[in-house]
A = this chain, B = another copy of it.
């Protein structure tokens, strides 16, 4: 049985606490959590323990990247200490003899339950014993897990920025154009769904269409004239990148 304490109850921390509590695995147990504001989180059954980090096998930091060093320096138990960041290096925790990273490449919100079971949990560890413990936890939460190194994790995190942050912003810019033309956002939902399905089916390289793909500069120029000045740079940068991708 691995006893676990979680520090940080933002989007990820809260979902992680809930996921650990709702698993049927008898190999892991959440013994408590802490957060900056010392506030009880209704969705978590384990107790808020605010004045100290209790004895446990594994302490998970689900705090912002720039708080990892400060928070981890206050942990005086000899538990394994891991962070959950996509970009912070593992060795930021090296003052703890057993340390590692438990990175879940998914987007989390407080009010949307995310199914962890299909997400590949990416693990990094200072030694084999730590890796074994992290694998027990990961396999209780998901069918998929994978050891990766810090460089791979940083590239994965950057790839996730494109896959989530940038894709979502393109969704937003699209909806803004519709709104300004008095058209409902729902008008392009079938296109939104088909774009994803086609990329998963044919691969995004083959799935690309549109004026930049065709090198149709006339349409690109007309589109630029339709856009507000502030929006032209992003349109152009994306179009140039598409052109560069398909140049022979």
Binding site for B on A (CB under 8 A): 65-66, 87, 105-107, 109, 112, 114-115, 118-120, 146, 148, 151-152, 154-156, 158-175, 177-178, 180-183, 185-196, 198-205, 207-213, 218-219, 222-223, 226-227, 230-231, 233-234, 236-238, 240-242, 244-245
Query: Could you tell me if A155 and B226 are in contact, using CB atoms closer than 8 angstroms?
Result: yes
Query: Could you tell me if B118 and A219 are in contact, using CB atoms closer than 8 angstroms?
Result: no
Query: Could you tell me if B231 and A169 are in contact, using CB atoms closer than 8 angstroms?
Result: no
Query: Could you tell me if B187 and A65 are in contact, using CB atoms closer than 8 angstroms?
Result: no
The smallest C-beta distance from A159 to any residue of chain B, in angstroms, reads: 4
Query: Could you tell me if B163 and A170 are in contact, using CB atoms closer than 8 angstroms?
Result: yes
**Which of B163, B169, B241 lies in contact with A242, CB distance below 8 A?**
B169
Query: Could you tell me if B105 and A187 are in contact, using CB atoms closer than 8 angstroms?
Result: yes
The CA of A234 and the CA of B242, in the complex, are separated in Å by: 10
Query: Could you tell me if B87 and A219 are in contact, using CB atoms closer than 8 angstroms?
Result: yes
* Set of chain B residues within 8 Å of A158, measured between Cβ atoms: 177, 223, 226-227
The CA of A18 and the CA of B209, in the complex, are separated in Å by: 21
